[in-house]
Structure 1
Amino acid sequence: MVIRRTRTEFWGAGPQGRETPGFSFHLLAANPPEDEVQTHMHEEAHFVLVLSGAYMSSARHAPAMSNTPLLIFNPAGTTHRDRFLGGRGRFLAISGGDAAGFGFATSLRDLYALQVATRIAADFQRKNLSQLQLEGGAQQLLAACSPLTSDESRHASQPPVWLKQAFEMIFTSDDPGLSVADVAAFAGVHPVHLARVFRRYLHCSPGDYLRGRRLERAAAVIGTATASLADAAFATGFVDQAHLTRSFRQTFGLTPGAWRARVQGRPDEQGRMLRRYKPVR
């Protein structure tokens, strides 16, 4: 039986949320052990902005396990078992609004939407946002999901086109040797300027994001069980298996071998990764 969750019900705990006529806002820490998170259905549309922790989501375009800036949109009626590895993480949840016509859960690769959500989270913690500002931010997020209205709703603070291109390059590239200098050259800007603007919109450095993406790809490759750990390390830009193991444990809190064992014990997750990622050749 699938558990039904209302606008204010999430697998987390934290200070009392904020309410506007159309939305609810909650800044939460994951509190249940990972295995206690059950398959559930959300009655209303909502966004999840992951602030820390390794997040596992079945949303379209979402990595198998993420440790980079991540914004998930779930339409009303979404059924899933998204959760944090080990039950440890922090997130902002925004529920409500008129999101008719949105058909599937997705990970938003939209820097404007990430910026809006991150600003809401930062100001929410400082209690700086009025009810009108909160609702306005939530409406901006909904508009960013809609190709029909996103251009109409955006303003001058949206990121430059070259930053979007650099972001997409890192997200989609399979080149294990990709460097920050390569990304800056592709974008046509100085690496220092890339770092400054990258941090403004994503709140991390290009190097942090690049390393995070490599680890996300490694998690996907390891989970498919189509390559040895040494091959997975080579294919995703690590010096050797030991380098991958150190980085993986430091970031996710478990070894690549332990992650593979977990995924192989969950056929649904392994099948999802096999459909989404190419095997190492």
Structure 2
Amino acid sequence: MKQLKTGSFYGQTNQTTHLPGITITDTEYTLDKVDWHYHENAYFTFILAGNVLEGNKKEVYNCSAGSLLFHNWQDPHYNIKPKGFTRGFHIELQKHWFDSLELKQDKLQGSFSIANPDVKFLLYRIFKESKITDELTGLAVESLLLQTLHKMQFDNGRLLRAVPAWVDRLKQLLHDEPAKGYTLHNISQILQIHPVHLSRDFSKHFNCNLGEYIRKLRVEKSFSLLTDDNLSLTDIAFSCGFADQSHFVRCFKQFGGSNPSAYRRFLLRGC
């Protein structure tokens, strides 16, 4: 089985950013199928555009734009790409980077998908920093990565505690259709729990209120559409469930840290 060294990924490399212990690679997937292989470093894969299927020994992930995976080092997997343009970026973390910061890499075992919108917003900010490339890029990327790993470990800690069945059902419902016009009443009916119970306990499991979480998911969905330059910002706003473009822009600035036009320029660079 082939081992890929630091900065090596199958496909066309658009850009590689080397930082101490961290390598960021912007890649276009060009091969229909990539056989079993593994990488020498732990790394994130974030799909910016298109689709790819990735399988490991335990699971198969159907990844579309906005999908985020984490792989521990030397975890074997394969890829199958449907027809069409697919682009992703990868953040490799070398073992000495973990060791220098006294981080526990062994807490991040195997390969897994990350659905938390807050983690994805951090990854989009890292992608943006990789395109700026000034003397502060390394500082910014490392700070954002530490926030990312802390958030992931915090989420894993919460998973170890008992979580009511309605939490997973609600998460699936909102992630599948973030643009739908929800009300507290109809969500409560779907979950078959009292609205007071839902309102009271939601923040315990999602770390924000219900309306804020849905806005986050709508902004997250918009990132996956910004790579399509045939769509206007108004088109994207309506597709994601926003009342109008101005509402979309306000929410995007709140969670995305910039305006959508600026982010679109970063996302389309290198395509």
Whether these two folds match at TM > 0.5 is: yes
Q: Counterpart of 1:81 in 2: which secondary structure?
A: strand
Q: Which runs of 5 or more structure 1 residues have no equivalent in the other structure?
A: 152-163, 211-281
When residues 93 and 118 of structure 1 are mapped into structure 2, their CA distance, relative to the original with a 3 A threshold, is same
When residues 203 and 183 of structure 1 are mapped into structure 2, their CA distance, relative to the original with a 3 A threshold, is farther
Count of residue pairs the alignment pairs up: 191
Equivalent residue number for residue 9 of structure 1: 8
Query: What is the TM-score when the length of structure 2 is the normalising length?
Result: 0.56
Q: Which runs of 5 or more structure 2 residues have no equivalent in the other structure?
A: 99-104, 159-167, 188-197, 200-208, 224-235, 242-271
Equivalent residue number for residue 145 of structure 2: 138
For residues 192-231 of structure 1, what are the structure 2 equivalents within 5 Å?
Answer: 197-204=216-223
Over residues 177-202 of structure 1, what are the superposed CA-to-partner deviations in whole Å (9 max), with x where a residue is unaligned? x97013776398998x8775434444
- Cα distance in 2 for partners of 1:136, 1:179 equals 32
Over residues 42-63 of structure 1, what are the superposed CA-to-partner deviations in whole Å (9 max), with x where a residue is unaligned? 1110000100111212269977
Task: Report the AA paired with residue 16 of structure 2.
Answer: G
Q: Counterpart of 1:180 in 2: which secondary structure?
A: coil
For residues 100-119 of structure 1, what are the structure 2 equivalents within 5 Å?
Answer: 100-119=106-125
When residues 20 and 190 of structure 1 are mapped into structure 2, their CA distance, relative to the original with a 3 A threshold, is closer
Equivalent residue number for residue 56 of structure 1: 53
Residue pair 1:30, 1:87 contacting (<8 A) in 2 also? no
For residues 1-150 of structure 1, what are the structure 2 equivalents within 5 Å?
Answer: 2-31=1-30, 33-35=31-33, 37-58=34-55, 64-86=61-83, 88-96=85-93, 97-98=97-98, 99-127=105-133, 130-147=137-154
- Cα distance in 2 for partners of 1:206, 1:170 equals 17
Q: Counterpart of 1:38 in 2: which secondary structure?
A: strand
When residues 74 and 11 of structure 1 are mapped into structure 2, their CA distance, relative to the original with a 3 A threshold, is same
Residue pair 2:37, 2:78 contacting (<8 A) in 1 also? yes
Query: What is the TM-score when the length of structure 1 is the normalising length?
Result: 0.55
- Cα distance in 2 for partners of 1:116, 1:19 equals 19
Q: Counterpart of 1:82 in 2: which secondary structure?
A: strand
- Cα distance in 2 for partners of 1:169, 1:80 equals 29
Q: Which deviates the most, 45-54 or 63-72?
A: 63-72
Q: By how many angstroms is 1:135 displaced?
A: 1.7
Over residues 6-57 of structure 1, what are the superposed CA-to-partner deviations in whole Å (9 max), with x where a residue is unaligned? 12111132334112212111112113x213x221011110000100111212
- Cα distance in 2 for partners of 1:87, 1:137 equals 31
Q: By how many angstroms is 1:113 displaced?
A: 1.1
After TM superposition, the runs of 4+ consecutive aligned structure 1 residues lying more than 6 A away are: 60-63, 148-151, 187-191
When residues 19 and 68 of structure 1 are mapped into structure 2, their CA distance, relative to the original with a 3 A threshold, is closer
Residue pair 2:26, 2:88 contacting (<8 A) in 1 also? yes
Task: Report the AA paired with residue 37 of structure 2.
Answer: H
Q: By how many angstroms is 1:65 displaced?
A: 2.5
Q: Counterpart of 1:17 in 2: which secondary structure?
A: strand
- Cα distance in 2 for partners of 1:209, 1:69 equals 14
Q: By how many angstroms is 1:78 displaced?
A: 0.8
Q: Counterpart of 1:146 in 2: which secondary structure?
A: helix
Q: Counterpart of 2:123 in 1: which secondary structure?
A: helix
When residues 59 and 109 of structure 1 are mapped into structure 2, their CA distance, relative to the original with a 3 A threshold, is farther
The structure that is strand-richer by fraction is 2
- Cα distance in 2 for partners of 1:199, 1:61 equals 30
% same residue: 15
- Cα distance in 1 for partners of 2:173, 2:210 equals 16
Over residues 49-90 of structure 1, what are the superposed CA-to-partner deviations in whole Å (9 max), with x where a residue is unaligned? 100111212269977523252100000111001343237311
Task: Report the AA paired with residue 109 of structure 2.
Answer: G
Q: By how many angstroms is 1:139 displaced?
A: 2.5
Over residues 212-266 of structure 1, what are the superposed CA-to-partner deviations in whole Å (9 max), with x where a residue is unaligned? xxxxxxxxxxxxxxxxxxxxxxxxxxxxxxxxxxxxxxxxxxxxxxxxxxxxxxx
- Cα distance in 1 for partners of 2:48, 2:80 equals 13
